Amino acid sequence: MLAIKSNLMAANAARHLGQSYAALSKSTERLSSGLRINSAKDDAAGMAVSELVKADEAVLNQGSRNAQDAVSMLQTGEGAMGVIDQTLIRMKELAEQASTQSYSSAQRTIMNSEYTQLAQEIDRIAGSTTFNSIQLLNSSATYKINLGSTDTIDVVAQKMDSTSLGVKVGLGVKEAYDNTRGVARADDQYITSAEISAAGTIKKFNFHLVSSAVSATSTVVNLSLAAYNTTGISLNNLVDSINTAAGATVAFAQYDTSTQQYRLRLQGPTSGAYHLKVSATGAGNVAIADTNAGTDFTNPVNGTAGTSLTLATTSGATSALAKLTSAIMTKDAYRAKLGYLMNRLEAASSVIDIQAENLNAAESRISNVDVATEMAAMTRNQVLAQAGISMLQQSNQMPQMALKLLG
């Protein structure tokens, strides 16, 4: 029907032109961005999956960087251990030299002075070797290295100062007791909440600093564990609490190389007449299994005031040789541990990189545009749009035919 009020052909051509133009616009957007999914309306489910995969990939990439940063941290510690290694070798050389009787007392005094300076240098190295304020050679803390999501590798620090290595020249070899209870990490729970609050009575941790035997004049360290009644207390926290209560450094997280566990060590102060006596005696004390009774501690060092590590005598130098051998073995064990942890972290980083690469490929298949396919679609849409414009122009001219009939 020829009409002038309604141009159905033009409306139809305009509708098809609009569809072709919208499709052309979408193809242009995808090709210019490189993405098949530019908004949720393009593919809602695909976008949800793509974003989750992107998040997982980002976590894995950061986990790989975490592993590499941890390797750098361990390399810092291991490098310092190399210097400590050379220092201990020189100290053992001095001890061997001083153990022979072909030197005078004055000469042994010189050797002892050098030995003392080297021991102090070990303390300085252990205390100053840090990575982002983390001390691998002067603490017993556990550092968790996150490798993406919930995967972790634990790095357990170990003290490498002259006192912990047992080679420090001191005023005397003091009494020392090691607890029979051991934990894999010094940050692990050492006394449980159930032990602390057993039978509804808050327990206390007691021991004595004494000059000879437990007596009324002994210094009693009486530590309440009420603050850990519901949580339990880790070995590191127990060590800190004991030292605070004693007002001196008498507690240590001691690493046992034979069992590869950390134990509580109580050791007499490095100065003064007092040595240590473990006893459950004390005001308000209630014994805790494995922590108070003397039978729950071994006595690795039965010290006496005045016995010191020194190279000033041949007997002292001979004794120092055995301690230096033990120190070198302890140092070697920890240095080896740093080495295999570095190897493990590097292997973990390689695996994570492969996982991230595979995730990136999966995400690319979901969200990236197939350029060849989209270019073919764009060419088709361009032709349709051009044809639509031409047909719309022709359709707009159709009503003019009615004018001839009106004339």
- What is the residue whose two structure tokens read 């530590």? 223
Q: Is 391 exposed, middle or buried (0-12, 13-18, 19+ CB in 10 A)?
A: middle
The torsion defined by the Cα of 59, 61, 65 and 66, in degrees rounded to 10, comes to: 20
Answer with the one of 258, 290, 307 that is the final residue of a domain: 307
In this structure, the answer to whether residues 161 and 65 fall within a common structural domain is yes
Q: Is 98 exposed, middle or buried (0-12, 13-18, 19+ CB in 10 A)?
A: buried
pLDDT tens by residue, 10-32: 788 888 878 887 888 888 777 87
Show the domain range for 240: 171-307
At a CB cut-off of 8 Å and minimum separation 6, what does 290 contact?
179, 180, 181, 296
Question: How many domains are there within the chain?
Answer: 3
The segments of the chain whose pLDDT lies below 70 read 1-6, 170-174, 198-220, 269-295, 301-308, 403, 407
In this structure, the answer to whether residues 180 and 220 fall within a common structural domain is yes
In this structure, the answer to whether residues 239 and 329 fall within a common structural domain is no
pLDDT tens by residue, 160-199: 998 888 888 865 556 777 888 899 888 999 888 887 776 5
Q: What pLDDT, on a 0 to 100 scale, did the predictor assign at position 42? A: 74
Q: Is 27 exposed, middle or buried (0-12, 13-18, 19+ CB in 10 A)?
A: buried
Residue 122 lies in a domain: yes
What are the distances in angstroms from CA 49 to CA 37, 39, 61, 240, 364? 11, 13, 18, 49, 11
Q: What pLDDT, on a 0 to 100 scale, did the predictor assign at position 212? A: 44
In this structure, the answer to whether residues 5 and 121 fall within a common structural domain is no
Q: Is 262 exposed, middle or buried (0-12, 13-18, 19+ CB in 10 A)?
A: buried
Q: How far apart are CA 129 and CA 77, in angstroms?
A: 7
Strand partners, 134: 131
In this structure, are strands 251-256 and 204-210 parallel, antiparallel, or unpaired? unpaired
Q: How far apart are CA 231 and CA 213, in angstroms?
A: 35
In this structure, the answer to whether residues 162 and 41 fall within a common structural domain is yes
In this structure, the answer to whether residues 212 and 147 fall within a common structural domain is no
pLDDT tens by residue, 349-370: 999 999 999 998 888 888 878 7
Answer with the one of 277, 307, 337 that is the final residue of a domain: 307
Which CATH number do you get for residue 47? 1.20.1330.10
The one-character DSSP state at 281 is: -
Q: Output the six-digit token pair for 143.
A: 């550092």
